[in-house]
Amino acid sequence: MHSAARLYMNYEDKDLTTAIDLKTHKTVAKWQSSCGEDGPHALSIDQETGHLFVACSTRAEILDMGHNGTKLSSLSTPARAWMISTSRQPLTCCM
């Protein structure tokens, strides 16, 4: 979906996820993850759909990167999920 190489980062203390352009080193997007005071713990990107999956303490937020991080959905996860993986298979979250 995105042609530029990007690094995606979570900021637990700010409840924020950002995209950084690796060529310019500039932040090109910021999304509020809406995880609450614990902030986001992990993320995964589906490049084909442009969806960003952000793991929170008890759920995963699904954001649309192509539409300013619009929240598409939310999924319940095990408590304190630290890893999230996406594929054409069902979504899996791990602790």
Per-residue confidence (pLDDT) for residue 80, from 0 to 100: 60
Q: According to the model, what pLDDT value does residue 77 have?
A: 75
pLDDT reading at 86 higher than 80: no
Plot region of 34 (φ>0 → left; ψ -120 to 50 → alpha; else → beta): left
Owning domain of residue 49: 6-84
The count of domains in the chain is: 1
Cα–Cα distance between 75 and 62 in angstroms, integer? 8
Task: Give the domain CATH number at 72.
Answer: 2.40.128.630
Q: Is residue 91 situated within a structural domain?
A: no
Give per-residue pLDDT as tens, 4-58.
688 889 999 999 999 999 999 999 999 888 888 888 888 888 888 888 888 888 8
